[in-house]
Structures are given as C-alpha cells and as structure tokens.
Structure 1
C-alpha cells in the first residue's frame, strides 16, 4: 500500500461528502450535503468559472499576483488551532509525494500502440486510393490521431482506445455542402449534401470521364461506375451508417494485404457509426476506433460519424472538435517546461472517474480552461496536489452552478494558430451542463458521480491502479 496523505486531506478537509445509499437523492439529502459542504469549507470556494480554480479553498491560503498572472502560493497565518496547523504541515510536506507508480502510467506501450494503429490505417487508405482510383466512392485522407491517448493523458495501454479521425473528400465530379441541422440536438449537427458537378471539360482535357449531369443515364450505367449519390447516400445526403459499413467491409479484405496481418489478428467490433477493431497477437492486444469526418472549409473542425444519442438519423453528422483539441494539447506541450505535469493531473482524474461518458470530457474541459489561464510554469510536479484540488474545485463549482463553458466554442482565449470557422470562434459559449438546469435527476446523478470520483480517487491513490 502506498501511503499518501494528500487525498485523505483533500477529501476530509475540503471535499468530503457522505457515501450514497442509492440513486434516489431528494432535496433533503442534497440539503444535508450542502450543510456538510459548508462545514468542510466548500462555501469558501468562489463558484465562478472565470476564477479557474485559483482562489484557495481556505481563507488562510492566499496568492501573490503580478499583473494577471499567479506567481506563487504561500501560507499566512494559522489561527484555527492545532488541527488546522497539522493539516497545513501535512499538505506542505506531502504535495509532491504521490507515487510515480500510480500517476505516471508507462508511455512506451502507448507510443507503440499509436504507431501500431496509425501506420496500418495509413496503409489501408493508400490501398483504398489505389484500388478504387477509377471509382466514385469517397476518398479517405491521412489519418489523424485524436482523443486522450494522442493528447498525452491516455490511460494505461491495456485500457486505451486508439481513436483516429479519417477525413473524407468527395470523388471527382462531386462536391460536399454542409447544412446545419440542430433540430432536437444538444450538439451542433450537420447533413452533408452531395452535389454532382459538370465534368464535360474533363473529356476535352483528355480525361476519360462521363459527365453525371449531361450524359444519358443508360450510357452512364454501361460505361461508368455509379455516382456517390447511388451508393453511400440516402437521398441527396451522405449516409453515416452506409459509409461505415462500406469502409468496414473494405478493411476486412484490405487487411490481408498488409504485412502486419502476418503477425496480428484483426477482429471488427459491432458499431454503426464508427469502424472499431481489435488487434491481437499472443498476449498483446489493443482496441482502435476509426471515426470518419468531413472538414468544415479549411478549418480544424470536422463533422464526424462519432456515436451520439439513440435514434439519431443516419444522415446526421455531429460537429467534432477532436482535431482542434488535439492541436491545443500539442500547442501546450511546445510551450510547457520539461517538468510540466499538466497531463498527469488529467490522467489521474480520468483514471479515477466513473459514470457516463460526458464526465471524462467535463474533466478534460476543466483542465483545458485551467491550462489557458494559468502560467504553465506552475504545472510542476511539486504543485500537482494543488492542481488536483483546483481542478476538483472548478468541477464542483461548475456542477453547483450548472455551468461549464465549452472550451472551443466562443472561447476568446483559444489559440489563433488553430483554425476555427469564424462563426464558431464568435459564437456564444456553449454550456456543457445546460441539461443539468432543466433535468433535476441528471443533476443529482452528476453530483453523485462527482462524489464517487472523490472516493475512487482516494482508493486509487491508496491501493494503486
């Protein structure tokens, strides 16, 4: 057992809540939780997202500031008795004592996995482009690694899912037009309308291609492959499920032509809106997910095939910020000092989290907000304890106020070097917790998951991963 007082102090001194008896928390129970929060000092935290978790949870902890930048924390005054004095002494002496074994998950296997996924995916797209160069199917581009593993805060290799975004371009004689369709959707969504273009000039330039618009349909059927509208579309719109099924069938066959197939076994997993597969060899295995996307103009924002709510139409593509967020983490890594532990903070919290999928994204969003407002020099190992507490405080305040702004949409601090559509950069910030305000049951569940996170974090640090 690794002895660490940090989390015990965190839970007992700042964020302690009672264990849950079930899912039926009512107003009385929530009121009791609020009273316990006041008792343990949570009311001293200013619940303001712009505060970015920088205000100390204890009135005897202050910050020295120079301009708008936090320079250092220091302890002043200890007038609340021996218990509080002992608390501060233990915090001071144990902030950097969290074991490497618990929070620095080995990266060698993750790096190996990233290469093992990206390389064959690129080979598959190359085979695809060569084999179907004369057809009018979609044209896949070079794969882009996205998600936690490629951003530097992924879980242990055995638990990792290597997610890659495969951009899709229209074939010759076709064009894509994105049409915003947000009816009934919490997230911005689009339909990809496929338009046929006149290619009569191509014949004059010596290219043997009939025009889908101006040649007779009978001649087109006899001499040329079907247009994209007749293969992977529903009506005039690109169909997500047809695209995924078509690509999965191609992967199953094309894999046999790769050198990797001699040593690795590929098994496709059921999925209607992404291509999931497992690679295995002896006792080694890894899980990968290919998500397909259409780029919005020349920006780093795509509309993607990633899964969402049940019952979503197969012609709906969700706006995805995965590439822009991956670029943000690379942007931070280039600026951060060598001893920066910003990813370790998020890695540990993600390892401890439980509950629904949005929770990981909420943790990631909180950390990204902190990274954009706090000098990177302060994300050092010795400050890890502070940043764990600050991240949890920020999340707690966001849950309490039911307000957590999306990091990309409408964020004035988002790096200009990462290309966004103009309407996205100037849009009103999207509240990721807006559903909590209208759905009390969802708010109760989110609060419970936050409490479970605290207990899981304590267990993880004490007993190990």
Structure 2
C-alpha cells in the first residue's frame, strides 16, 4: 500500500515538474516581467528532483524491509498528500496567471500602439502663429499679476499678525511669516482667475517639538510622503531633563521659564494628533488653521472694505476676497511644517492640484519642493538668453492643457507634470537652444518628452534622486542621492486612469493648432476687454 502511494506521488510530481506551462524552457510567450518568478520556479524544480531521488532510495530500502513503524507510514502518507495538493494548486494558478495576464498585456500593447500613432501627421502651429498667440493672449492674461501679488502678500501679513494675536502664546501653535511659491511667483501662470499660493510654517509651543520623517528615512510604503511625530516633555527626544526631575527652589532651567510646568498642556497637542497616536494629523491641523483664520479675520475685518470667504470646504486655506466693485481675488494660504533646517516643507495637500491624494492616511504629509523649484528657475534664467522661451513653452502648454480639461474633464495629468518635463529639459539642452526664435522647436520637445514619459509610465521627480542638479539648488543630500521618485507611479497601479490620461493627451495634441489659431484670431477684436478670456 505504501509503495503504491509513493509511486503515484512520484508520477504526479514528475508530471508537474516537467509540465511546459509550469516550468517553460523555450516558451517565448512568457512575459519578460516573469523572469524573477521563473527563476524561483526553477529553484523549486531542483529541490523537487532532490526530494524525488531521496524518495526512490527510501522505496528501495522499503522493499528490503518486512515491516515499518506505523507512525512513519502515517507521516509519509500525510506528506505525500500535502505535497500533491500544493503542486496541483500551483499548476492551476500558473495556467490562470499566464492565460489571463498575457492576454491583458497584449491588449494593452495594441492599444498603446494605436494611440501612439496619433502623433503621426499632427502639426503644431508655426513660429509666426505661436509668436502672435503669445504676444496677444499670454502677455495680455498676465498684465495685472504684479498688483495682485502685492495686494495678497500685504493682506496675508496682516491676517497672520492678527492670527498670532488671537492665539495663546503658551499653548497654541507658533505661526511664522508666509512664503510665496507656485506658478504665479514663478511667472508662468496663465489660467484665470489668477491665484497666489502662500505657505505658512508653524511649530508647536515649548516644550513640544516636531520630528519630521520623510519616506527615505523611515522606509515608508508611501513614496513622496512623510510623517510628523509630536514629542512632549515626557519624551526622551525632548532634549531637556527639567520636565523629568524636580528642581530646587533656587535652580532654574536655562531653556525654560519658571512657569514651565504650568505652560504644558497635553490636551491641546492631542487635538492636533491623529486619534490614539502621537503623529500630526493633516485633517486636524487644517481644521485648527481654518478656525484660527476665522478668528483673525473677525478681529481685523473692520479695517477693510471687502468680504473674505473660504473658496472650498475641502481646502480650508483657499480664501476669496470680493470687493464692492465685484472684483474677486483668490489665494491659497496653507500651513506647513519645515523639515529640519531646510527649505523643504511637509504640506497636507496641494490646493491647485486636481490629483487626489487618497493612497495615504491622514498622518502622511506630502513633501513640497516648491521653494527649491522656484530657486532653480530663478538661477537657471541667469544662464539662458535674455529673451528665453522656456517659460513661454510652459505657458502655452498649460493653456492647451486647461482648455482640454474643460472639454474632456480632468485626468491623471497635472500642471506639475508639465512643469517637471520643462525642468528636465532645461538641464538636458544647451542654454543657447532656448532663444525665443526656437519656441516652436522647444514646444515640440516638451510634447515629445511628455509622450515618451506617458508611454513608459515613468516621469522622475526633478529634485528627488537627480544627481545632475546644479549646486545652487542646495537640496539636502538625503534627497539628492536617494532613488528617483516616479510621478507616474499611479498609472502603473490604475490602468483605467492611465488610458484616460493618454487619450486626453493625444486629444490635446490634435486640438493644439485649432485652439491657438482660434484665440489668436479673437484677440484683435477683444483688446478692450482682456478679462473676457
């Protein structure tokens, strides 16, 4: 009986091991991405062959013996049954995996090839038409940028000063001066209404402090994000022993005042942390900031002859000023946490982005390199021709993108992706190639580069892991030498979003000439009303 079980077991193992679907040797249909899996399978094959040899030796030994302990028979019967079940499951999984996945992979390849052909025969507007469009439409759309920025910066300073005055200096957050970032301050925003972006660093009161942990230091499963841990007087990381011991009446801490123990308030900090944790919550911080801004405005509203409201409920820092004349000015003021002694900030969300950041929990903050990006554009302009076309390319591409979004709706593509493409091109092409007379060529380069990135589902972050960054950027080394961060990672995980984005891109490409020609023809008749577009 035992010998029969062993023979059947060996036949099943041999059949599975030599099955062409499970261990293919010259199977060209196996996707290249399965090389690692195939190697593992081959290793299993060698192990099974070794076990097969051992079983054959045991069978030969068994024939020379008249009887064997019952416990050994039961053990081998259990092992044979379990092994057959495992390998049969592997065989079924292998057939399903190869049959379904190969079909989907081939279908996607055909779709990409079909979409890729959309570039053929598509022509961008010529130099003359591009020049007319830029001079008459783009320049006309940004003529009042300077005045708007001056108003927003002045009002934001007044609002933040009022916010500090209504906060308890002993228990509330310490709010610093605002920092101007984004397309408006980088001089390439063309979308209306004009929106200014400001970030406001904040820090906890003593004896608390924040410890920021980006994904590159904590090996987070959320690349591009980080966490902010809150340390209090009872934590070892606080760095002062006065909160852990009783000082004499004549002894004072050189860091803290006499009423140090009266100041600390665990309840206030707990309200800003995620439930049952000591990590700062994006949702609770934004709620705190909205409440603080409301109190600050109620204190200074009598000084101004306009109304201040929140533009979006899901973005508490999005503010809207409406004058009695009907004119409206919008701006975003968002609380952030500074990473160590750098210009890198942890931000809860990007107000102007249509991309949804839903993959991380509310304790994960997005890392913003906005200050470094603005610095790069400012410094690199010193090496470019006086009439460089680099921002013109980005403005035209942003215009086409926004118009296409109005037609087909938002997709996985954002203006930040367009900006990233330009930043990479600025490092890859000689400075002389960015003369204004080469606007058409550089605009085409941007489209070609974006198409290549979309087809490969790979667009590396300009700052993270970019060893070609100029020294003047002064990025912290931990981000300079880490692995590149793929901004198109979402497309690898979400096929539907990827196909929608790719289709939107080619539609934008086909509509480029029509849109630019149409808006160029409308301008002369609308010079007296520049805000109509």
Q: Same fold (TM over 0.5)?
A: yes
Matched-pair contact (CA < 8 Å) for 2:317–2:334: yes
Distance of 2:302 and 2:433 partners within structure 1: 43
Given the alignment, which residue of 242, 248, 252 partners 2:294? 252
Matched-pair contact (CA < 8 Å) for 2:310–2:316: no
Q: Which has the higher contact order (CA 8 A, sep 6+)?
A: 1
**Residues 194-205 of structure 1 aligned to structure 2 (within 5 Å):** 194-196=231-233, 197=238, 198=240, 203-204=252-253
Query: What secondary structure sits across from 1:406 in the alignment?
Result: coil
Q: CA RMSD in A?
A: 3.1
Distance of 1:358 and 1:192 partners within structure 2: 32
Change (3 A) 1:32 1:245: closer
- 1:302 Cα deviation from its structure 2 partner: 1.3
Change (3 A) 1:271 1:340: same
Aligned to 1:294: 337
Structure 1 residue runs of 5 or longer lacking an equivalent are 1-24, 42-86
**Residues 98-177 of structure 1 aligned to structure 2 (within 5 Å):** 98-132=133-167, 134-156=169-191, 158-177=192-211
The structure in which a higher percent of residues are helix is: 2
Once structures 1 and 2 are overlaid, which stretch shifts more, 326-335 or 408-417?
A: 326-335
Given the alignment, which residue of 448, 460, 473 partners 1:418? 473
Given the alignment, which residue of 323, 326, 346 partners 1:283? 326
- 1:130 Cα deviation from its structure 2 partner: 3.9
Given the alignment, which residue of 392, 404, 425 partners 1:344? 392
1:324 aligns with 2:324: no
Query: What secondary structure sits across from 1:254 in the alignment?
Result: helix
Aligned to 1:242: 284
Aligned to 2:455: 400
Distance of 1:226 and 1:261 partners within structure 2: 36
Distance of 1:284 and 1:268 partners within structure 2: 16
Aligned to 2:81: none
Change (3 A) 1:459 1:283: farther
- 1:391 Cα deviation from its structure 2 partner: 0.6
Structure with bigger gyration radius: 2
1:32 aligns with 2:114: yes
Distance of 1:252 and 1:174 partners within structure 2: 25
Distance of 1:107 and 1:337 partners within structure 2: 21
- 1:370 Cα deviation from its structure 2 partner: 1.1
Matched-pair contact (CA < 8 Å) for 2:149–2:196: yes
Structure 2 residue runs of 5 or longer lacking an equivalent are 1-106, 351-355, 520-532
Distance of 2:451 and 2:113 partners within structure 1: 15
Matched-pair contact (CA < 8 Å) for 1:210–1:224: no
Aligned to 2:259: 210
Distance of 1:33 and 1:117 partners within structure 2: 44
- 1:153 Cα deviation from its structure 2 partner: 0.6
- 1:419 Cα deviation from its structure 2 partner: 3.0
The structure in which a higher percent of residues are strand is: 1
Query: What secondary structure sits across from 1:432 in the alignment?
Result: coil
Change (3 A) 1:34 1:243: closer
- 1:132 Cα deviation from its structure 2 partner: 3.1
Distance of 2:212 and 2:430 partners within structure 1: 38
Aligned to 2:421: 366
Query: What secondary structure sits across from 1:451 in the alignment?
Result: helix
Distance of 1:172 and 1:397 partners within structure 2: 51
- 1:113 Cα deviation from its structure 2 partner: 2.0
Aligned to 2:269: 229
Matched-pair contact (CA < 8 Å) for 1:293–1:303: yes
- 1:417 Cα deviation from its structure 2 partner: 2.3
Query: What secondary structure sits across from 1:179 in the alignment?
Result: strand
